[in-house]
Homo-oligomer: A and B are copies of this chain.
Amino acid sequence: MRNTGAALVWCPFPDRETARATAARLLDESLIACANIVGEIESIFEWEGERSSGTEIAVLLKTTSERLEEVVSRLGELHPYDTPAIVGWCCDQAYPATLDWLMLQTRPTLQ
């Protein structure tokens, strides 16, 4: 059923400014069409054998399945954490006008 090219990436950031700046870079580089900054989340996690918790800013990034791998990789370079939590998935459906917009905004720009 995966007949569409939309894709999403979920990634928390340490703060809203970092989230905004990183989203802007990915937009500048035509890797995403949109960032939904979902807002403040409470994260509970295991890190090097220790239970930790903290407040982060969650972001959902919108791109295409063609660009997904590049977005995850580039986001890993831009993110301030050494081990950012970046995961992405392909969508099975997108509204036609949505998909047109995603593809238009993320088409590779001639260098």
Residues in A lying within 8 Å of B, measured CB to CB = 1, 6-10, 12, 16, 20, 23-24, 27, 33-47, 51, 56, 58, 60, 62, 65, 68-69, 72-73, 75-76, 82-98, 100-101, 105
A35, A37, A95, A96: which has the most chain B beta carbons within 10 Å? A95
Q: How far is the CB of A56 from chain B (nearest CB, A)?
A: 8
Known: A36-B58, A62-B85. 15 other contacts (CB 8 A): A8-B10, A8-B89, A10-B60, A12-B36, A20-B44, A24-B44, A34-B46, A36-B41, A39-B40, A58-B60, A62-B87, A68-B92, A72-B93, A88-B91, A89-B91
- Count identical subunits in the complex: 3
